[in-house]
Each structure stands twice: as C-alpha cells, then as structure tokens.
Amino acid sequence: MLHNRCVEVTIDYSAVAAAAALLTSLVSVSALWYESKRWRFSMGIDLYMKLDERFNGDGMRKTRKAAARALLSGHMRPDTPNKAALEDTLDFFEMIGFLVSRGALDDRMVWHGFFNFIHPYWLSAQGYVEEQRRTDPTVWSDLDQLHRRLLSVEKKERKCSDADLAWSKDSLREFLETECQL
C-alpha cells in the first residue's frame, strides 16, 4: 500500500532575513578589517620612507657625523663638543622606537632600514645612556626596547647568536669613523 503523505513546509522568512543580515554584517566587518590593515601598512611604508629620507638627509648626516665624533672622544662631560648631536641621534632612534611600540611601524621594516645604525650607536653610547639614566631612568627607554626587539629579528633572520652581535671596540670605532666621513 502506498501512502500519500503531504508534508507542509513553512519558511520563517524573518529568520532567513536575520541570517542574511548577519552574514552581510560579517562580510562587511571582514572587509573593513582588511582595508584597515592595508591602510595601516600603507601609512607605515609612507612613514618609513619619510624617516629614511630624514635619516639620510644632509641635516641628519651632519648630526650623525658630530654624534660619532662625540662618541669617539671618549667619556662624555657636560662640556663635551657634539654632545647635543649624540642626544639628537639617540632621540631620532627613540622616536622610531616609540612609533614601533605604538604599531605605526613594524619591527622587520625598521630592522631592514635602521638596525645597522641603531645597534652600533646603542652599543657605543651605553656609558652615556647609563649616566643619563641616573637622573632620568626613562631616558631612551623606547630606544632600549626597540634595540631588544631588533636584536630578536636579527637573530632570527641571520640565524646568529648573542656572541655574533657583540661588536669589538675596534669594530665600533671603525663604524664611528665611517660615520665621521659623512
């Protein structure tokens, strides 16, 4: 015997509309997040290019040259010539550290363009930084954090150790002498 069954299907159109609205919202939020990420990256590239241009510009090259001379002179005193240039150079790197900490620039981008300068300047200026931190423990703290972050990137990218990153006094002097040629 065959039974003829009628099944009545009812569609809840409000539930379908709610599901469609939810799906549309999720797609919109995803697209907005993606565009925001792209915009932030684009802004980071623009900022990086401006920093690179400033760092390699005539004014900053003169400042770096004077900073290197100050570091080569040995122990810094209040009357040390070019001390202000050293502070300006460290302040420039401090600003980059602040921008990285706030997410305006990423570690790898800064590593790519500035590590080979930040690392030797930081190592060369350690005595002066420690001296300044006696009166202000926060001085160049963003630079300190940036240096640590960039060391991690350097170790990962170059597969090197802490020992590989420890520059000799001769290597630091050679770097500073090169900076004096700017």
Report yes or no on whether pTM surpasses 0.75. Answer: yes
CA 90-96-101 angle, 5° bins: 120
Chain mean pLDDT for the chain: 90
Does the structure show a pLDDT above 70 at 28? yes
State the helix-helix crossing angle for 83-101 and 58-72, rounded to 10 degrees. Answer: 120
At 49-102, the pLDDT tens digits run: 999 999 999 999 999 999 999 999 987 776 778 899 999 999 999 999 999 999
Region 22-43: mean pLDDT is 78
pLDDT at 1: 55
> If DSSP states are collapsed to H, E and C, what string results for 55-76?
HCCHHHHHHHHHHHHHHHCCCC
| Every domain of the chain and the residues it spans | 42-179
User: How far, in Å, CA of 17 to CA of 29, rounded?
Assistant: 18
Q: What percent of the chain has pLDDT over 90?
A: 70
